C-alpha cells in the first residue's frame, strides 16, 4: 500500500501546449472552445484521502482542474472518475457523470454498475466465460448468468490501484497501476496495467492505457462513465444528439453476446452516421442500445468515434480513439433503484456510456480484431473526450 505523504499537494502548471488532433472529417453539431473562466488562472492537482476499504486500506482522490473550469475527480479504487464538471454555454459548471458522493456507494454492488471505472481485464462479455487460446481451454469467472462480464466477479473496477500525480506541458493527470496476478478471475498471465487520466487545457479528458503480460492473454480495457451532458440526475438522455462514426455494428443474441455477424447500420435504428436524438428510434431496439459499433478507420490510429450534443446546455463531447469499436449503452438497466450524487435517483436512460474497446467476445470470433496480448508485446490504447460548447 502506498503511503499518503502530505495530504494535499498543489502543482501549478504554467506552460500551456496546443494538442495536435488531426483534422478529421466532422459531422454533426460542432462546438466552440470553452472560454477561460475568471478566477481560475492555472491548472492544478490536489490529492486527498477518500475513505477506507473494508480491509483498512486508504483510497485516494485526485482533483484535476484546468483554466476553463473543467474539473475531474478521480479515485484510485477502480481507477474511477467520480465527477466531471464542464461549463455549459452560459459558463455554468455542471457535473456530467453519474456516480456517488462517497466511497460507500461505490462499494455497494447494487448501487454501482461500473460508474466511471476502468473495466478489465476484458470489457464486455465473453460467452460462457470460455475461450481457447493456443489449444488450451480457459474458464473465466461467470458473473452475468452463464457469461463473463467486465472482468468477472472482481474486475479492475473493484481493486485498489497505486496512484501518483503526473504533469506535462498543458496537462495534469493521475497515473494508476495495477498488477493482475496469473489466474485472477481465470485469466492466464501476470498482467501489469498502467492507466493515465490527463486533463488538458484543450478541454480534453485523455485516457492512455498500457499493459504487458508474461503469458498470452486476452486484454480489452475500457472506461465506463455514464454521461448526461445536461448534468447528472437531470432527466434522461434521449434528447441528446448522437453521431457515431460507424457504418457497421455487431448484432447480439438474447444474452447480449455477439452473433458474429457484422451488419451495416444503413436503414436501421443503429444508423447514427448523421446525428439524431438517442431516443429517435430507440423504441425499435429491443431493450435499448447495448451494442458494439465498428468504427471507420484504422485500429491503432486516433480517429473520431462519436460526437454528442446536448441542445439545452450546448455541451458537446467528441470522442477520439485508437480502438476499433465503441460500445454504445443507453443506460437500459438503470431503473430508479440507485440513488446517486446529491440524492438524485437514476431512472432508465438517465445516462449513456460510450466505451471505446475491441469487440465483445472477440476470443470466440477469429474474424474480429484480435484481443490477444503475448509476452514481449505491449498493449497500448488512447481515448480522448474533448469538450466544447455550441451557441
Active site (catalytic) residues: 224, 355
Q: Is 65 exposed, middle or buried (0-12, 13-18, 19+ CB in 10 A)?
A: buried
* Residue 114 in the binding site for ligand BGC (CB under 6 A): yes
CB 67 within 8 A of CB 74: no
Distance, in Å, from the CA atom of 341 to the CA atom of 358, rounded to the nearest integer, reads 31
157 near ligand BGC (CB under 6 A): no
Under a CB-based contact definition with an 8 Å cutoff, are residues 269 and 251 in contact?
no
Bridge partners for 136 per DSSP: 133
| Residue 313: CB minimum distance to ligand BGC, A | 25
Nearest 10 degrees: Cα torsion 291, 242, 264, 381: -60
323 binds ligand BGC (CB under 6 A): no
* CA-derived radius of gyration, the chain: 20
Which backbone phi and psi does 184 adopt, to 5 degrees? Answer: -60, 125
Interface region with ligand BGC, contact rule CB under 6 A, candidates 98-106, 229-237, 258-266, 326-334: 326-334
Name the minimum Å distance from CB 144 to ligand BGC. Answer: 8
333 sits near ligand BGC (criterion: CB under 6 A): yes
- Residue 62 binding ligand BGC, by CB under 6 A: no
Q: Considering the complex, state which of residue 186 and residue 288 has its C-beta at the smaller distance from ligand BGC.
A: 288
Name the nearest CA neighbour of 53 among 121, 127, 154: 154
Which positions ≥6 away from 108 have C-beta within 8 Å?
none
Among 45, 81, 252, 256, binds ligand BGC (CB under 6 A): 256
- Residue 335 binds ligand BGC, judged by CB under 6 A: no
124 part of the interface to ligand BGC, by CB under 6 A: yes
Residue 327, interface with ligand BGC (CB under 6 A)?
Answer: yes
| Least distance to ligand BGC, CB of residue 147, Å | 10
State which of positions 260-299 bind ligand BGC (CB under 6 A): 290
- Taking CB atoms, the residue at the shortest distance from ligand BGC is 113
Say whether residue 220 binds ligand BGC (CB under 6 A): no
Number of other residues whose CB lies within 10 A of the CB of residue 18: 10
User: Applying CB under 6 A, which of residues 178, 329, 346, 368 lies at the interface with ligand BGC?
Assistant: 329
Nearest alpha carbon to residue 371 among 141, 126, 161, 111: 126
**Which residue carries 464542464 as its cell?**
86
Q: How far is the CB of 355 from ligand BGC (least distance, A)?
A: 5
Number of residues that bind ligand BGC (CB under 6 A): 10
Return the H-helix or E-strand segment holding 206: strand 204-213
Binding span for ligand BGC by CB under 6 A among 25-33, 235-243, 267-275, 327-335: 327-335
Q: Does position 131 bind ligand BGC by CB under 6 A?
A: no
Using CB under 6 A, list all residues that contact ligand BGC.
Answer: 113-114, 124, 256, 290, 327, 329, 333, 353, 355
Amino acid at each position: 500500500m502506498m503511503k499518503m505523504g502530505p495530504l494535499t499537494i498543489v502543482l501549478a502548471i504554467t506552460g500551456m501546449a496546443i494538442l495536435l488532433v488531426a483534422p478529421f472529417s466532422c459531422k454533426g453539431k460542432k462546438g466552440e472552445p470553452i472560454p477561460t473562466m475568471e478566477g481560475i488562472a492555472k491548472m492544478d492537482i490536489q490529492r486527498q484521502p477518500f475513505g477506507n476499504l473494508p480491509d483498512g486500506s486508504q483510497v485516494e482522490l485526485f482533483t484535476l482542474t484546468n483554466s476553463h473550469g473543467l474539473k475531474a475527480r478521480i479515485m484510485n479504487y477502480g481507477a474511477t472518475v467520480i465527477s466531471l464538471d464542464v461549463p455549459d454555454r452560459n459558463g455554468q459548471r455542471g457535473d456530467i457523470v453519474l456516480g456517488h458522493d462517497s466511497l460507500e456507494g461505490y462499494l455497494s454492488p447494487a448501487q454501482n454498475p461500473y460508474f466511471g471505472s476502468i473495466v478489465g481485464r476484458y470489457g464486455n462479455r465473453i460467452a460462457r466465460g470460455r475461450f481457447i487460446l493456443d489449444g488450451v481451454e480457459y474458464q473465466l469467472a461467470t458473473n452475468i448468468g452463464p457469461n463473463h462480464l467486465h472482468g468477472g466477479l472482481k474486475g479492475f473496477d473493484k481493486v485498489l490501484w497505486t496512484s501518483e500525480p503526473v504533469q506535462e506541458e498543458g496537462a495534469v493527470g493521475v497515473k494508476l497501476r495495477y498488477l493482475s496476478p496469473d489466474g485472477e478471475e481465470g485469466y492466464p498471465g501476470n498482467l501489469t496495467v498502467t492507466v493515465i487520466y490527463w486533463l488538458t487545457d484543450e478541454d480534453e479528458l485523455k485516457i492512455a492505457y498500457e499493459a504487458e503480460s508474461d503469458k498470452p492473454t486476452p486484454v480489452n480495457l475500457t472506461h465506463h462513465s455514464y454521461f448526461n451532458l445536461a448534468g447528472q440526475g437531470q432527466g434522461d438522455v434521449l434528447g441528446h444528439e448522437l453521431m457515431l462514426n460507424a457504418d457497421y455494428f455487431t448484432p447480439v443474441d438474447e444474452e447480449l453476446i455477439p452473433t458474429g455477424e457484422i451488419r451495416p447500420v444503413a436503414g436501421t435504428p443503429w444508423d447514427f452516421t448523421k446525428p439524431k436524438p438517442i431516443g429517435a428510434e430507440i423504441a425499435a431496439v429491443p431493450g435499448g442500445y447495448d451494442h458494439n459499433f465498428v468504427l471507420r478507420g484504422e485500429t491503432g490510429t486516433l480517429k473520431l468515434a462519436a460526437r454528442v450534443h446536448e441542445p439545452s446546455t450546448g455541451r458537446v463531447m467528441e470522442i477520439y480513439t485508437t480502438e476499433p469499436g465503441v460500445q454504445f449503452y443507453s443506460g437500459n438497466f438503470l431503473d430508479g433503484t440507485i440513488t446517486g450524487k446529491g440524492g438524485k435517483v437514476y431512472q432508465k436512460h438517465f445516462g449513456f456510456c460510450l466505451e471505446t474497446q475491441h469487440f465483445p467476445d472477440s476470443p470466440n470470433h477469429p474474424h474480429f480484431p484480435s484481443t490477444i496480448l503475448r509476452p514481449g508485446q505491449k498493449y497500448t490504447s488512447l481515448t480522448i473526450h474533448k469538450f466544447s460548447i455550441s451557441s
